[in-house]
């Protein structure tokens, strides 16, 4: 993922949260974000590992993974998470882990939630995370269009208000197991949705060796 991003030579790197939570390398992820990200939000999993959210808010495998992450996270990673907030602004773009209504917990997956965040936001472009689903919703001339953003989706954002979700690096849930990211050109008002192959089997092996729940490992190859 980082090599693919470097190939685009972006001016900045933004992360919309959940640096940790499900994967087998939370310390390495925190170190990479600390070194490379210009903006990073707190996701609900980050806040749980940090201690700002009670682990009782998480059920089943998510809770087990968060507990494991707390146990293995080093001081440097904890320091990174301690400084994160679930919303922010960068270059006039409003950023939320969840949504404008609930920056921590709300999943934006349908028109109603997307429209609410577009209307509550003060900027014409809003980015959200949390759902693990790449999404593009555009409001133009009063009409709302969009949906799941497949790999290779290109958007002209000129003259519109839009909500975009780059998708998930570590655990996509839109049926495409490849890691997802979004390339934004703010001057040209253009967005490009990208996907990157990675070694899923290696990650699954590391998760199993760490004792993380089997379902979390198995779902990676399905993008679910």
Count Cβ atoms below 10 Å from residue 75 Cβ, excluding itself. 8
Report which of 161, 172, 73 is spatially closest to residue 130, judged by C-alpha positions.
Answer: 172
Which of the residues in the chain have pLDDT under 50?
A: none
**What is the SS3 assignment for 27?**
helix
Angle separating helix axes 26-36 and 60-72, nearest 10 degrees: 70
What is the tally of structural domains in the chain? Answer: 1
Burial letters 79-111, b for 16+ CB under 10 A, else e = ebbeebebbbeeeebbbbbbbbebbbebbbbee
Summarised one tens digit per residue, pLDDT across range 78-91 is 999 999 999 999 99
Share of the chain above pLDDT 70, in %: 100
Q: Give the per-residue pLDDT at 141.
A: 81
What are the φ and ψ backbone dihedral angles of 66, each rounded to 5 degrees? Answer: -65, -40
Range of the domain at 148: 2-221
Query: Model-level pTM?
Result: 0.95
Dihedral angle computed from the Cα positions of residues 104, 108, 112 and 114, in that order, rounded to the nearest 10 degrees: 100
User: What Å distances lie between residue 204 and 112, 213, 214, CA to CA?
Assistant: 36, 10, 9
CATH assignment at residue 48: 3.60.21.10
Task: Return the pLDDT at 214.
Answer: 97
Alpha-carbon distance values, 28 to 16, 25, 74, 105, 119 (Å)? 17, 5, 10, 25, 37
pLDDT at residue 142, as a whole number? 78
């Amino acid at each position: 993922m980082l090599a693919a991003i470097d190939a685009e030579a972006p001016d900045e790197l933004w992360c919309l949260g959940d640096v940790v939570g499900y994967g087998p390398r939370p310390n390495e992820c925190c170190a990479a974000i600390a070194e490379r990200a210009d903006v990073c939000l707190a996701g609900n999993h980050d806040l749980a590992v940090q201690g700002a959210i009670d682990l009782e808010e998480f059920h089943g495998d998510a809770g087990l993974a968060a507990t494991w992450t707390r146990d293995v996270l080093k001081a440097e990673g904890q320091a990174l998470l301690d400084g994160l907030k679930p919303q922010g602004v960068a270059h006039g773009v409003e950023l939320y882990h969840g949504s404008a209504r609930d920056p921590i917990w709300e999943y934006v997956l349908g028109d109603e939630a997307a429209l609410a965040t577009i209307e509550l936001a003060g900027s014409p472009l809003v980015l959200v995370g949390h759902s693990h689903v790449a999404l593009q919703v555009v409001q133009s001339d009063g009409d709302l269009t969009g949906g799941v953003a497949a790999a290779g989706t290109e958007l002209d954002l000129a003259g519109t208000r839009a909500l975009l979700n780059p998708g998930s690096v570590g655990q996509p849930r839109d049926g495409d197991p490849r890691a997802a990211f979004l390339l934004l050109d703010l001057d040209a008002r253009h967005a490009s949705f990208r996907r990157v192959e990675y070694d899923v089997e290696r990650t699954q092996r590391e998760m199993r060796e760490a004792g993380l729940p089997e379902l979390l490992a198995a779902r990676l190859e399905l993008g679910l």
